[in-house]
Amino acid sequence: MIELRDVWFRYEGSEDYALRGISLEVRRGEILAVLGPNAAGKSTLLRTLNGLIPHFYSGKMKGVVLVDGVDTKSAPISELAKKVGLVFQNPERMFFSQTLLDELMFGPINLGVDPEEAKKRALSVAKQLHIDHLLNRPPWTLSGGEMKRASVAAVLTMETPYVALDEPTQGQDARTKEALIEVVSELRSKGRAVIVVSHDVEWLADLSPDSAVVLDGGKVAIVGRGEEVLADVDVMRRCSLSPPICVQVARMVGLPPKLTPSGLLASVLER
């Protein structure tokens, strides 16, 4: 489990805290969705999970982040990387290998995985995310959407127990979004935890996260079961977020909130 206990963080050179008293739990076998307006602290939150804060990003940190009981302040990033895989919002910052295949194999090999096993993982994940035809290409020659999928694949090949995804659907088409839901759901079924930061509330509704948290101004505005948080129209709008369209329609016609078209249709037929 990952535990955040009253976590505060202020970047060096800034007078304002990006995180203000965040307390959360992330359990294995669950999906946690993280929502919020721009500058709410979402990406900063992810950086605390694998030790980038405070080891890489300078600033003032208060509170405790525990990954399976290990305090991230005292553990090196190299050790935390074996536990928490992080996909950055800007994927071009992740790549340095000559080919995409080498890039996907680098992480597991660096963790001590046999090269043949690393290649097997790379081929499997690349096929899942529809980038297997790009394996011989240099990563920096890929399109923005392809780079995003490649960055997700590079983390998945490491098979860490915790996976943090920052805006994974950015630049993706409907087919790839569906593939991402399948991949994330499979991770959950295998007992791994997935933390997803996203503005794409329709995709999150389809993903059906176990829990969700909305950040606003570095603070927790609401945290709870995923369905309940995504259906809370008042909180979502107060935090400059648009609730899923099915939730809005259900509210307009006086029905209980439903996240998906199938759920909304069932409510209409039962009426």
pLDDT exceeds cutoff 80 at 270: no
pLDDT of 184 above 80? yes
Question: How high does pLDDT run on average in the chain?
Answer: 93
DSSP 52-64: HHHHTS-EEEEEE
Task: Specify whether the CB–CB gap between 197 and 143 falls below 8 A.
Answer: no
**pLDDT value, residue 82:** 93
Q: What stretches of the chain show up as alpha helix (H) in DSSP?
A: 42-49, 52-55, 77-80, 100-110, 115-128, 144-156, 174-189, 201-207, 226-230, 233-238, 245-252, 261-270
Residues 46-55: tens digit of each pLDDT: 999 999 999 9
Model confidence at 192: pLDDT above 90? yes
| Residue 267 pLDDT greater than 90, yes or no | no
93-137: per-residue pLDDT in tens? 678 899 999 999 999 999 899 999 999 999 999 999 999 999 999
Is the predicted pLDDT of residue 268 greater than 70, yes or no? Answer: no
pLDDT score at 260: 77
Contact call for residues 166 and 87 (beta carbons, < 8 A): yes
φ and ψ of 158, to 5 deg:
-80, -15
Q: What is the mean pLDDT of residues 184-188?
A: 96
Mean pLDDT, residues 65-86 taken together: 95
Least confident interval from 28-32, 92-96, 177-181: 92-96
Q: State the greatest distance between any 2 C-alpha atoms of the chain, in Å, as a whole number.
A: 59
Q: How many CB atoms lie within 10 A of CB 266?
A: 12
What residue type is 270 in one-letter code? E
Percent pLDDT > 90 in the chain is 83
Answer whether residue 209 shows pLDDT above 80: yes
| Predicted pLDDT at 221 | 97
Whether the per-residue pLDDT at 246 is higher than 80: the answer is yes
pLDDT in tens, 35-75: 999 999 999 999 999 999 999 999 999 999 999 999 999 99
Lowest pLDDT segment from 155-159, 211-215, 265-269: 265-269
Q: What percent of the chain has pLDDT over 70?
A: 97
The pLDDT tens digits of the residues spanning 224-240 come to 999 999 999 999 999 99
pLDDT digits (tens, 9 = 90+) for 137-149: 999 899 988 999 9
Contact between residue 104 and residue 154 where contact means Cβ atoms under 8 Å apart: yes
Alpha carbon 218 to chain centroid distance?
17
Report cis status (omega within 30 of 0) of the bond before 76: no
For β-strands 162-166 and 19-26, DSSP reports them as: unpaired
